[in-house]
Amino acid sequence: MTEDELIRGCIKEEASCQKEVFHRYAGRMLGVCNRYARNSADAEDILQDAFIKVFEKIHQFKFEGSFEGWIRRIMVNTALKKYSLRRYEKEVSGYEIRDRDESGIEPSAYAHLTQKELLDLINNLPEGYRLIFNLYVIEGYQHDEIAEMLGIQPGTSRSQLVKARNMLQKQILQLRKVAV
């Protein structure tokens, strides 16, 4: 069955089409959810809530652009709603990092890390930093878009990204010292 046929079946609320869409995209979308969730149970909750929204809103899909991209945006928005702005502001205001260390970081400092280790480091960032890092670096949103999604200023998005990167650099350098 083609993607268009599946979408049209979902619009008609055909359970077999909904099941197939879920099976086709759930694995990749769980990866998206895991980048925003604190643990696998939260990621699965986000995935489930987001797929409910996908099927509720599927009639709004205009058959323009990527269907997977459309689903991904719903996943990200669902995750952002789970971690509300209030929680984001509380965490960011309670955490302070010094300005960037000018020494920078060499690619060799993180080359020894596996993808899982790098994702674990990202997942251990404070929630606000992690959300902005994921939205900007992994999802490819611009600071203006992130600001609109989170109800913050673009400058806040930029500064939180810098702080997230600094924190990751420190964690990577620390891991490197332990490994040596």
- Over the stretch 126-159, which tens digit does the pLDDT of each residue have? 888 998 999 998 888 999 999 888 888 999 999 9
**Both 158 and 90 in a single domain?**
yes
**Both 41 and 93 in a single domain?**
no
Q: What is the mean pLDDT of the segment spanning 172-178?
A: 77
CATH number of the domain where residue 126 is located: 1.10.10.10
CB neighbours of residue 50 within 10 Å: 23
Instruction: Please tell me the predicted confidence (pLDDT) of residue 164.
Output: 92
Portion of the chain with pLDDT greater than 70, in percent = 81
Q: What is the mean pLDDT of the chain?
A: 82
**Both 90 and 172 in a single domain?**
yes
- Over the stretch 102-134, which tens digit does the pLDDT of each residue have? 334 444 445 566 777 778 888 888 888 998 999
- The dihedral built from the CA positions of residue 26, 63, 18 and 38, taken in this order, carries a sign that is positive
Residue pair 59/98 in contact (Cβ under 8 Å)? The answer is no
Instruction: Please tell me the predicted confidence (pLDDT) of residue 173.
Output: 82
Q: How confident is the model at residue 87 (pLDDT cuts 50, 70, 90)?
A: low
**Both 35 and 107 in a single domain?**
no
Q: State which of 82, 104, 138 marks the end of a domain.
A: 82
**Both 71 and 110 in a single domain?**
no
Distances from the Cα of 53 to the Cα of 93, 100, 123, angstroms: 32, 40, 25
**Both 30 and 106 in a single domain?**
no
**Both 71 and 102 in a single domain?**
no
Number of domains the chain contains: 2
Structure letter (DSSP) for residue 101:
P
Q: State which of 82, 103, 134 marks the end of a domain.
A: 82
The CA-CA-CA angle for residues 106, 147, 46, to 5°, reads: 85
Token pair listed for 124: 């251990």
Nearest to 128 by CA among 99, 104, 151, 105: 151
CATH number of the domain where residue 34 is located: 1.10.1740.10
**Both 99 and 53 in a single domain?**
no
**Both 153 and 164 in a single domain?**
yes
Q: Residue 38 belongs to what domain range?
A: 3-82
**Both 99 and 125 in a single domain?**
yes
Residue pair 89/128 in contact (Cβ under 8 Å)? The answer is yes
Q: State which of 82, 107, 125 marks the end of a domain.
A: 82
Residue with tokens 């869409």: 21
